[in-house]
Amino acid sequence: MGETILKLDKVTKVYPNGTVANRDINMEFEKGEIHSIVGENGAGKSTLMKMIFGIESPSSGTITYKGEEVHFASSLDAIKAGIGMVHQHFMLIPSFSVVDNIILGDEPKNGIFLDRREAVRKTQEVSDRYNFELDVTEKVSALSVAKKQKVEILKTLYRDAELIILDEPTSVLTPQETEKLFEQLRSFKKQGHTILFISHKLEEVKQISDRISVIRNGVSKGTYRNDELTMEQLTNLIIGRDLESDIDRYKTHEDFHNEKAAVIEDLCLERNGKPVLDHVSLAVKKGEILGIAGVEGNGQLDLVRCITGLEKTKYEGKIMICDTDTSGMNIKGRRDLGMAYIPEDRMGDGIAGPLPISDNMISTYYTRDDINTKLFMDNRAIDRISNELIDTFAVKTESNKTSVDSLSGGNIQKVVVAREYNTRPKFMIAEQPTHGIDIGSAEFVHHKLIELRNSGVGILLVSADLNEVMDLSDRIIVMFDGQIAGYFKNARNVTDQELGMFMLGASHQTPEEIGGALND
Amino acid sequence: MTEKKQKINLSITNPKVFEVVKMVISILIALAITLVILFMISDNPVRAIVTILTGPLTKRRYIGSVIESFIPYAFSGLAAGVLFKSGAFNLGGEGIFIISGVSIAAVACNQLTTSGVLHPILCFLAAIVTGGILMIIPSFLKAKFGTNEMVVSLMLNSIYSGVAMFIIRKFLLTTTTSTIGSRDYFKTAKIGYIFEPLRISPCLILLIITTIVMYLIMFKSRLGYQIRLAGTNPKFAEYSGISAFKLSIVTAVIAGILCGMGASCQLLTQTSFYLPEQSLVGIGFSGMLLSMLGRNNPIGIVVAAFLIKYLEQGTSILYFVDRAVPSEIVAIVEGIVILLISSQYFLRGFREKKLLKEGLEKDAK
């Protein structure tokens, strides 16, 4: 150790919308270390990594790699130089085999033809050298999430990456899978690779890192040896204050007891001949939060699409919202019954980016009487309502006419939540409601969800963040492979290890136990 | 809160200010380039540019010609604006103009009524119905079969001009000349002038009313809100419960009606018989350019239409004074302006530098 492999000197990045993502960042990375970069969501970690990997170029400052100043024009240059990156969202072609995915862009050739045998041999060799336990001829679509991640890592190793950037690698893994990944990372370190580990889960960071760099609001708060920092000091560095107590839980109001906001019975959905939802039954009661845990891609997305009416494929089963059968209804009809929906894909589904905040604040109830006159829309009322919502939800903006895509992720999410809140819902679907936003905004969103619950709204919470599900929910369902694998009547009496077993498919409850999701 | 609202950012970092600055600079650059070209080809370049810019104002007849000729282009631009704003890349305006011309000719060449008021109105109605219905086809096929509306609409343009030729030849062919065109309209179908020296006809009044209505629709009505939403993010519109299908049909009908009105204005004031290969050719396509120039804003589009026609008039006057300057020079001005304002990168670096500075200042607090 001791040899510097990568050095950042006064690196600054300003995005075209004026956001300063990074400011005068100085950092050094040593060969053969596991170096974590921590910070809140939106602190500027991802931007920094994108600059190292050549996806973005710094507005000013220099990056020195192996003693030479580098200006990567694209990630291709970075890969050639020996830098690999595993993105939070996998960059794989599902219909290709593992080999095809790995060699793509760097194929072994035999004259002008692809040398398939050599490709398989070389890929398998790299895989075996690092104990990946992968069959490289398998199709990627058939692999589990953890295995897909292995393929991503293998892709970087195949290209002889010495420096590997892992962007939030554990966010899609169960606790058990995370443990395995860490073993692997330690073995990479022994073989001389440098690991840049990005995460906002501090326990994991403490567990794996040699050194830790902290970023807050785009500014570096220094690099520390892991053993010289306590958890409290680290938290303090990251958010600049002590973390407040957990979400205050109110008691569920008895008034709403057993009134159902939504009932789903025997929901089945097939996609390309494969069942993605398999006899899912559950009920969301008024005044409760029903949490759905599970590794991404186990049917949660399809479930939400069916309930909201966005799914185009015909499903079987019954979906009742506020005691009304919704069969044949589109999303408009279901919203009219009292459904609200915070979508996972905030930028894609949740906003019209270039339009002002005021337009975005009313889209789901723009026909309502209080913002319309007979012929036209009442712009004064729209201004009033959007300004009120900006105030109540503490959206940081200069005016309600600012285009929504110039806000930070956390503030955009507040706009989405404020709008859905103002639809006066009876039943709300909250899909990854705090994914990728800063702690302050996340806390705020959590409080609003609880406030809604206490006022009698039934909330279906879908989240890949186990802590979120465990903190907010009254009851918990675990989904695995399109089915409900486990149901927990009391969210307070369950551990993350226990949930992890169900998320992995290692445990499965009996139909009677699972039936509680509908009947309790 | 109220103080915050009042604060208007007049710096270039405000996207609206940026748009205006970009537009003005684009026009100045285009004129500068024109001047350079004039210096190369003309013996008296200064007189040439002055003629282009002020020529149309020198005679009532000239400005009257601008007023009369820009009207159909403005309608065409409004139609394209609605379609583009809603996110539909429907380039069918050209074909709709030509085929509505057939409907107009069919009504105008038959003495359906002897009233000089009713006859033009019937012509308008025929054109509006034709346009409104036929414009739906690309949107309908897209929604129901997933076809590409741009390909379909371009294909339909060719089909419609063929159909127009066929109908005129078969049913309305003139017997007096050998050209392929319709018979003369009955006099009752023609639209007269309200103020002849400036060639002001009821069409101008119709255009003004239409522009105001379109402005209200786009910026004040629920329909305009839906169009803005669907045009900026169709997934978000769907998520919000707006039916993309219904919206695409409604916008297509509106655009078709506007094209029909434009075609009627052109034919009933400026022609006395219909030549399908000539009378309305090019207006639909020009409308799309005007829509880009006017940034899909109804008022911007109409102003752009007037300015372009004004410049065209200026250069054609120049042609009488200075034979060295071809009247096509106006196409250069048009081309450069459209290129510059539609360019994502033009002036972007300048704006980003400003933003960088502002961002850092704000960040430093």
Q: What is the CATH number of the domain that holds A67?
A: 3.40.50.300
pLDDT higher at A201 or B6? A201
Give the pLDDT of residue B12: 66
- Is residue A254 one of the residues assigned to a domain? no
What confidence category does residue B21 fall into, taking pLDDT thresholds of 50, 70 and 90? confident
A362, A364, A366, A408: best to mutate for the B interface, most B CBs within 10 A: A366
A125/A186 same-domain check: yes
A268/A211 same-domain check: no
Interchain pair B235, A367: CB under 8 A? no
Residue B278 in contact with partner chain A when CB distance is under 8 A = no
Residue showing tokens 């040593």: A30
A235/A285 same-domain check: no
**Would you tell me how many other CB atoms lie within 10 Å of the CB of residue B189?**
27
Q: Which of B339, B252, B262, B270 is nearest to B77 (CA)?
A: B262
Interchain pair A331, B241: CB under 8 A? yes
CA–CA separation, A44 and A164 (whole Å): 18
Interchain pair A387, B243: CB under 8 A? no
Nearest to B236 among A349, A367, A400 (CB): A349
* B88 to chain A, closest Cα gap in Å: 16
The CA distances from residue A177 to A76, A169, A209, A504, in Å, are 30, 11, 18, 9
Give the pLDDT of residue B132: 96
| Contact list, A398 vs chain B (CB under 8 Å) | 4, 7, 9
- Is residue A62 one of the residues assigned to a domain? yes
Residues 6+ apart with CB under 8 A from A426: A261, A286, A322, A337, A338, A339, A456, A457, A458
The CA distances from residue A405 to A217, A410, B13, B347, in Å, are 19, 11, 14, 21
Residue B7 in contact with partner chain A when CB distance is under 8 A = yes
- Alpha helices in B86-135, H assignment, sequence order: 93-108, 118-134
Nearest to A19 among B235, B238, B359 (CB): B359
- Cβ atoms of residues B288 and B75 within 8 Å: no
DSSP A122-191: HHHHHHHHTT----TTSBGGGS-HHHHHHHHHHHHHHTT-SEEEEESGGGGS-HHHHHHHHHHHHHHHHT
B356, B361, B362, B365: best to mutate for the A interface, most A CBs within 10 A: B356
CA–CA separation, B226 and B197 (whole Å): 43
A197/A285 same-domain check: no
A62/A169 same-domain check: yes
- Cβ atoms of residues B125 and B191 within 8 Å: no
A77/A171 same-domain check: yes
The CA distances from residue A388 to A368, A394, A408, A513, B4, in Å, are 17, 10, 19, 45, 13
A41/A131 same-domain check: yes
Nearest chain A residue (CA) to B226: A363
How many A/B residue pairs have CB atoms within 8 Å? 95
* B251 to chain A, closest Cα gap in Å: 17
Mean pLDDT of all residues belonging to chain B: 87
Nearest to A335 among B241, B352, B359 (CB): B241
Kindly state the average pLDDT of the residues B45-57.
86
- Is residue A400 one of the residues assigned to a domain? no
Nearest chain A residue (CA) to B15: A403
Structural domains in chain A (count): 2
Nearest to B360 among A20, A331, A349 (CB): A20
- Is residue A403 one of the residues assigned to a domain? no
A65/A96 same-domain check: yes
Residue B41 in contact with partner chain A when CB distance is under 8 A = no
| Contact list, A332 vs chain B (CB under 8 Å) | 241-243
CA–CA separation, B164 and B175 (whole Å): 18
Nearest chain B residue (CA) to A364: B240
Nearest chain B residue (CA) to A397: B4
- Is residue A418 one of the residues assigned to a domain? no
Residues 6+ apart with CB under 8 A from A34: A185, A186, A189, A194, A195, A197, A208, A209, A210, A211
* A431 to chain B, closest Cα gap in Å: 14
Nearest to A18 among B7, B13, B238 (CB): B13
Query: How far is the first Cα of chain A from the last one, in angstroms, to the nearest whole number?
Result: 58
Question: CB under 8 Å, gap of 24 or more: what pairs does A229-238 form?
Answer: A231/A202, A231/A203, A231/A206, A234/A38, A234/A202, A234/A205, A234/A206, A235/A202, A238/A38, A238/A39, A238/A40, A238/A43, A238/A202, A238/A214
Residue A354 in contact with partner chain B when CB distance is under 8 A = yes
Domain layout of chain B by residue ranges: 69-293
Interchain pair B228, A352: CB under 8 A? yes
| Contact list, B221 vs chain A (CB under 8 Å) | 375-377
**Would you tell me how many other CB atoms lie within 10 Å of the CB of residue A73?**
9
Interchain pair A18, B358: CB under 8 A? yes
Rounded to whole angstroms, the maximal C-alpha distance in chain A is 76
Residue A370 in contact with partner chain B when CB distance is under 8 A = no
Nearest to A377 among B4, B225, B235 (CB): B225
Domain finish residue from A239, A270, A294: A239
- Is residue A362 one of the residues assigned to a domain? no
* A100 to chain B, closest Cα gap in Å: 31
Q: Which of A461, A459, A509, A458 is nearest to A486 (CA)?
A: A509
ipTM here: 0.80
CA–CA separation, B289 and B305 (whole Å): 9
- Is residue A508 one of the residues assigned to a domain? yes
Question: Domain range spanning residue A124?
Answer: 4-239
CA–CA separation, B22 and A402 (whole Å): 20
A22/A153 same-domain check: yes
Element (H, E) at B346: none
What confidence category does residue B353 fall into, taking pLDDT thresholds of 50, 70 and 90? confident
Nearest to A352 among B4, B13, B236 (CB): B236
* A313 to chain B, closest Cα gap in Å: 15
Residue A400 in contact with partner chain B when CB distance is under 8 A = yes
Element (H, E) at A462: strand A458-462
What confidence category does residue B2 fall into, taking pLDDT thresholds of 50, 70 and 90? very low
- Is residue A211 one of the residues assigned to a domain? yes
| Contact list, A16 vs chain B (CB under 8 Å) | 348, 351-352, 355
Q: Which of A482, A477, A518 is nearest to A499 (CA)?
A: A477
Interchain pair B235, A349: CB under 8 A? yes
pLDDT higher at A120 or B343? A120
- A122-141 pLDDT, tens digit per residue, is 888 888 888 888 888 888 88
Give the pLDDT of residue B6: 45
Q: Which of B246, B280, B263 is nearest to B140 (CA)?
A: B246
Nearest chain A residue (CA) to B354: A18
Interchain pair B9, A331: CB under 8 A? no
A191/A309 same-domain check: no
Interchain pair A348, B233: CB under 8 A? yes
Interchain pair A352, B222: CB under 8 A? no
DSSP A53-68: TTSS--SEEEEEETTE
* B261 to chain A, closest Cα gap in Å: 24
Which residues, numbered 292 to 351 in chain B, qualify as contacts with chain A under a Cβ-Cβ cut-off of 8 Å? 348, 351
Interchain pair B240, A364: CB under 8 A? yes
CA geometry: angle B190, B194, B196, nearest 5 deg: 90
A279/A203 same-domain check: no
DSSP 8-state symbol, B100: H
* B133 to chain A, closest Cα gap in Å: 25
What confidence category does residue B49 fall into, taking pLDDT thresholds of 50, 70 and 90? confident
- B203-215 pLDDT, tens digit per residue, is 999 999 999 999 9
The tens-digit pLDDT sequence of chain A (520 residues) is: 468 899 999 998 887 666 678 888 999 999 889 999 988 766 788 888 889 999 888 888 899 998 889 888 888 899 989 999 988 778 888 888 898 888 888 788 888 888 888 889 988 888 888 888 888 888 888 888 788 888 988 888 888 889 999 988 887 777 888 888 898 889 888 888 999 998 877 888 888 999 999 988 888 888 999 888 888 888 888 877 655 545 555 545 556 667 889 999 999 999 888 889 999 999 999 989 999 998 888 899 999 999 999 888 889 999 999 989 988 888 999 999 999 999 988 888 999 988 999 999 999 999 888 888 888 999 899 999 999 999 998 888 878 888 888 787 788 989 999 999 999 999 999 999 988 777 778 888 998 999 899 888 999 999 988 888 888 898 999 999 899 999 998 888 888 888 888 888 888 888 888 888 888 7
Nearest to A364 among B235, B241, B358 (CB): B241
A222/A265 same-domain check: no
CA–CA separation, A202 and A233 (whole Å): 11
| Contact list, A379 vs chain B (CB under 8 Å) | 220
Interchain pair B239, A16: CB under 8 A? no
- Cβ atoms of residues A400 and A358 within 8 Å: yes
* B156 to chain A, closest Cα gap in Å: 30
Kindly state the average pLDDT of the residues B7-29.
75
Percent above pLDDT 70 for chain B: 93
| Contact list, A59 vs chain B (CB under 8 Å) | 356
DSSP A408-443: -HHHHHHHHHHHHHTT--SEEEEESTTTT--HHHHH
The CA distances from residue B152 to A322, B135, B260, B278, in Å, are 44, 11, 20, 23
Residue B212 in contact with partner chain A when CB distance is under 8 A = no
| Contact list, B246 vs chain A (CB under 8 Å) | none
- A201-220 pLDDT, tens digit per residue, is 788 888 899 999 998 888 88
Provide the token pair at B165. 């030729």
